Chains A and B, each alone.
Chain A
Amino acid sequence: MSQDLVNIEINGIPLQARKGAMLIEVADEAGIKIPRFCYHKKLSVAANCRMCLVEVEKAPKPLPACATPVMDGMKAFTQSPKALAAQKGTMEFLLINHPLDCPICDQGGECELQDVAMGYGEDVSRYSEAKRVVKDKDIGPLIATEMTRCIHCTRCVRFGEEIAGIRELGATGRGEFMQIGTYIEKSVSSEMSGNVIDLCPVGALTAKPSRYTARPWELVQHATVAPHDSIGSNLFLHTREGRVMRAVPRDNESVNETWISDRDRFSYTGLYADDRLTTPMVKDNGKWVATDWETALARTVEGLKGTAASEIGALLSPHATLEELYLAQKLLRGLGVSAIDHRLRQVDFAHGNADPAFPYLGLPIADLENVNAALLVASNVRKEQPIAAHRLRKAGLKGASLMAINTRDYGFAFPVMAQCITDPHGMVGVLAGVAGAALEAAGAKAPASLAKIIDAAEIDEAARAMAEQLKAGEQAVVLLGSQAFAHPRFSLLRALAAVVAEHTGATLGYLPEAANSAGAWLAGAVPHRGPAGERLGSPGLDAQAMLDKPRQAYVLLGVEPDLDCADGVRAREAIEGANFVVSLNAFASEATRNLADVLLPIATFAETSGTFVNAEGRWQSFQGVTRPLGEARPAWKVLRVLGNMAGLNGFEHVSSENVRDELKGLFGADLAFDTGVPLEGAAFETATVPTGLQRAGGVAIYALDSLVRRARPLQETADGRQAGAYISEAQARALDLLNTDRVLVRQNGRTATLDLVIDDGVAMGCVWIPAGMPETAALGAAFGPVELQKL
Chain B
Amino acid sequence: MPKIQTVHKAALLNDHLREEIDDWLRRYPEDQRQSAVLGALRAVQHEHGYLSTEMMDAVAEYIGMPEIAVYEVASFYSMFELKPVGRHTIAVCTNISCMLRGSDKIVEHIENKLGIKTGESTPDGKFYIKREEECLAACCGAPMMQVDHVYYEHLTPERVDEILDGLE
Chain A residues with a Cβ under 8 A of chain B: 161, 166-174, 182-184, 724, 726, 729, 732, 737-741, 755-761
Contacts and interface: CB of A to CB of B under 8 A. Distances in A.
Contacts of B53: 183-184
14 contacts: A170-B66, A172-B75, A174-B75, A183-B53, A183-B68, A184-B67, A724-B3, A737-B2, A755-B3, A756-B2, A757-B3, A758-B6, A761-B5, A761-B6
Contact of A756 (B3, B68, B69, B75): B3
A741 B72 contact: no
Nearest to A740: B2
Contact of B72 (A168, A170, A739): A170
Contacts of A741: 1-3
Given A170-B71, A173-B75, A757 B2 contact: yes
Given A172-B75, A174-B75, A183-B75, A758 B68 contact: no
Interface residues of B, number: 15
B6 A729 contact: yes
Lowest 3 CB-CB distances: which A-B pairs, in order?
A170-B68, A167-B66, A759-B5
Nearest to A732: B2
Contacts of B167: none
Nearest to B57: A184
A757 B5 contact: yes
Contacts of A740: 1-2
Interface string B58-93: 000000001111011001100000000000000000
Given A169-B68, A183-B68, A183-B75, 19 more contacts: A161-B66, A170-B68, A170-B69, A172-B68, A172-B75, A173-B76, A174-B75, A174-B76, A182-B68, A183-B53, A729-B6, A741-B3, A758-B4, A758-B6, A759-B6, A760-B5, A760-B6, A761-B5, A761-B6
A167 B65 CA distance: 9
- The CB with the most chain A CB atoms within 10 A, among B68, B75, B76, is that of B68
A173 B3 CA distance: 32
Contacts of A170: 66, 68-69, 71-72
A738 B1 CA distance: 6
A582 B66 CA distance: 52
A724 B72 CA distance: 34
Interface string B1-45: 111111000000000000000000000000000000000000000
A182 B4 CA distance: 21
A483 to B, nearest CB: 19
Nearest to A167: B66
Nearest to B72: A170
A169 B68 CA distance: 7
A729 B2 CA distance: 10
Contacts of A760: 5-6
Nearest to B5: A759
Given A166-B66, A167-B66, A184-B53, A758 B72 contact: no
A149 B2 CA distance: 40
A167 B76 CA distance: 18
Contacts of A168: 66, 68
Nearest to B78: A174
A758 B5 contact: yes
A650 to B, nearest CB: 54
A266 B139 CA distance: 59
Nearest to A179: B75
B71 A172 contact: yes
